[in-house]
Amino acid sequence: MTNALFSGLVLGGSVIAGFVGSLTGLGGGVVILPLLTVAFGVNMRYAVGASLISVIATSSGSAAAYVRDGFSNVRIGMMLEIATAAGALGGAALAAYVPTSKLAILLGLVLIGSLFAPVNRETHGAQLSPPEPATAGRLSGTYPGPEGPVHYAARRVPLGFGMMGMAGLLSGLLGIGSGAVKVLAMDLAMGLPFKVSTTTSNFMIGVTAAASAGIYLHRGYIDPGLAMPVTLGVTAGSLTGAMLLKNADVHLLRLFFRAVIFALGVEMIYNGWAGRI
Amino acid sequence: MSEYSEHRMESEMGVLLRAGVIVACSIMLVGGVLYLLQQGAAHESYQAFRGEPAPLRSVSGIWREVLAGNARGLIQFSVLVLIATPVLRVVFAVYGFTRQKQWMYVAISLVVLVLLAVGLSEHV
């Protein structure tokens, strides 16, 4: 296959992956990996490198909008980024010593596990009234609700911090954003409102990925001929998905994509198990 | 003088992130077109992992490739811009929290920055 044909096909596949990742809330990274490794026969290490770069682009691009809307909490995000960045460094350092077949199985488990994570529901969380005064740690915040600002505060911070370390580790190992684990840590463990959790997670993904990106680059995981169509495609697909989410009822489409992701997860585990990746 | 509000810091952060992604993707697009013009008919294989050649693995090497007019180098340069975007966001947070006199968050941001620097250093 010539580079031109390969780039075109990967670009098309990446647009679809970004679109599916955005509609399901899982992110483009976890969707592009099975596509590259299974459909295009790309080595897992190159695939992981290209995926990680696309993750930085989509996260930073969409975080810009979320930060403006006032839902993401920059302070909580920054504090937890200590855990995700440290985890990502560990994961990226470890990645070279883990056989690709094991990485494939891990990715399959993450894909299937992510389907059970809460990706889209009404915002809840520990709502405080009257608002607590800002404490020294200030792990609290407000978000714009329909009837004025809603106050919230984080609890079980050490547990959330630990889960964020795991999210970073997975991100560094697999070149994914691990948004699902980050949302779990903030929403379930720390009791933050759901919308705050998802937008802050998105905000954090770029820094988490940047922590491992340098290690990937030095190890030669990032190939420009692959990273280019993957990053441009996933970014375009995610933007399209985000626009559709705003303007259309995507319930059925999302259900279908979740089934696809389940199948991809099984495929990764099978291929890893059979030693084909 | 009006206070440097958290909201203002966040919206400036948003502008920074968006600008970084737009610049990086534009360079990547130009590099991609050049790459396909230069090497579109060649056959690159990604099945076996060999690792990138040394010049495409380091900042100084990538810069030399860009100056030499190598399209793969230009794409790799856009990757560097993309990686720098969240890093700059943390640098900006150090500045923003300093202006707000939130010293604890200045310290937290600096710790994140150190972790990022560890990953980007060439000795890991």
Which pLDDT band, with edges at 50, 70 and 90, does A124 fall under? very low
The domain segmentation of chain B, as residue ranges, is: 9-39+54-120
Which chain B residues have a beta carbon less than 8 Å from that of A70?
A: 7, 10
Query: Does B86 contact A6 at a Cβ distance shorter than 8 Å?
Result: no
**Whether residue A214 has pLDDT greater than 90:** yes
Give the CB-side neighbour count of residue A120, counting CA atoms within 13 A. 12
Residues 105-164 of A with CB under 8 A from B: 136-138
Q: What is the 3-state secondary structure (H, E, C) of A161-178?
A: HHHHHHHHHHHHHHCCCC
| Of residues A176 and A144, more confidently modeled | A176
DSSP string of B47-112?
SS-----GGGTSHHHHHHHHHTT-HHHHHHHHHHHHHHHHHHHHHHHHHHHHHTT-HHHHHHHHHH
Would you call B73 an interface residue with chain A, using a CB distance cutoff of 8 Å?
A: yes
Higher pLDDT, A269 or A127: A269
> Which residue of chain B comes nearest to A221, CA vs CA?
B51
CA distance A23 to A258: 10
Which pLDDT does position B124 carry in this prediction? 55
The confidence score (pLDDT) of residue A86 equals 98
Q: How confident is the model at residue A24 (pLDDT cuts 50, 70, 90)?
A: confident
Tell me the per-residue pLDDT of A53-75, one tens digit each, with 9 for 90 and over.
Answer: 999 999 988 887 777 778 889 99
With bands split at pLDDT 50, 70 and 90, how would you rate the model's confidence at A137? low
- Closest residue in chain A to residue B111, using alpha carbons only: A82
**Mean pLDDT across the stretch A26-39?**
91
Per-residue pLDDT for A149 more than 50? yes
Q: How far apart are CA B26 and CA B5, in angstroms?
A: 32
Among residues A229, A164, A52, A100, the alpha carbon closest in space to that of B36 is found at A229
Residues within 8 A of A (CB atoms), B 7-36 only = 7, 9-11, 13-15, 17-18, 20-21, 24-25, 28-29, 31-32, 35-36
The two three-digit tokens of residue A48, written as one number: 């992981």
| pLDDT above 60: residue A145 | yes
Contact residues, chain B, for A72 at CB < 8 Å: 10
In terms of CA atoms, which chain B residue is nearest residue A43? Answer: B47
- Position A229 scores a pLDDT of 98
Range in A1-10, A118-127, A232-241 with the lowest mean pLDDT: A118-127
Name the residue among A46, A57, A72 with its Cβ closest to that of B21. Answer: A57
Nearest-neighbour CA in chain A from B64: distance (Å): 15
The span from the CA of A221 to the CA of A276, in Å, is 19
Which pLDDT belongs to residue A40?
95
Nearest CA in chain B to A93: B124
Q: Is the pLDDT of residue A122 over 90?
A: no
The DSSP secondary-structure symbol of B119 reads H
Average pLDDT, chain A: 89
The predicted-structure confidence for A106-118, as pLDDT tens digits, reads as follows 999 999 998 887 6
Residue extents of the structural domains in chain A: 3-273
Q: What is the pLDDT of residue B10?
A: 86
Distance (Å) from the alpha carbon of A219 to chain B's nearest alpha carbon: 7
B24 contacts in chain A (CB < 8 Å): 57
What ipTM score was computed for the predicted complex, to two decimals? 0.94
Read off the DSSP letter of residue A133: P
- Which site among A36, A81, A143, A230 would you substitute to test the B interface, given the most B Cβ atoms closer than 10 Å to its Cβ? A81
Which residue of chain B has the CA closest to A11?
B32
- Interface residue B47 vs chain A (CB under 8 A): yes
Per-residue pLDDT of chain B (124 residues; tens, 9 = 90+): 457 888 888 889 989 999 999 999 999 999 999 999 999 999 989 999 999 999 999 999 999 999 999 999 999 999 999 999 999 999 999 999 999 999 999 999 999 999 999 999 876 5
What's residue B1's pLDDT? 42
pLDDT-derived band of residue A119, with 50, 70 and 90 as boundaries?
low
CB contact under 8 A, A67 and B14: yes
Q: Is A45 touching B (CB cutoff 8 A)?
A: yes
Closest chain B residue to A68 measured between Cα atoms? Answer: B11
The dihedrals phi and psi of A149, each to the nearest 5 degrees, come to -65, 135
User: Are the Cβ atoms of A43 and B108 closer than 8 angstroms?
Assistant: no
Give A158's strand partners: none
Element (H, E) at B23: helix B6-39
pLDDT tens string A168-182: 999 999 999 999 899
Tell me which residue has tokens 């889960």: A163
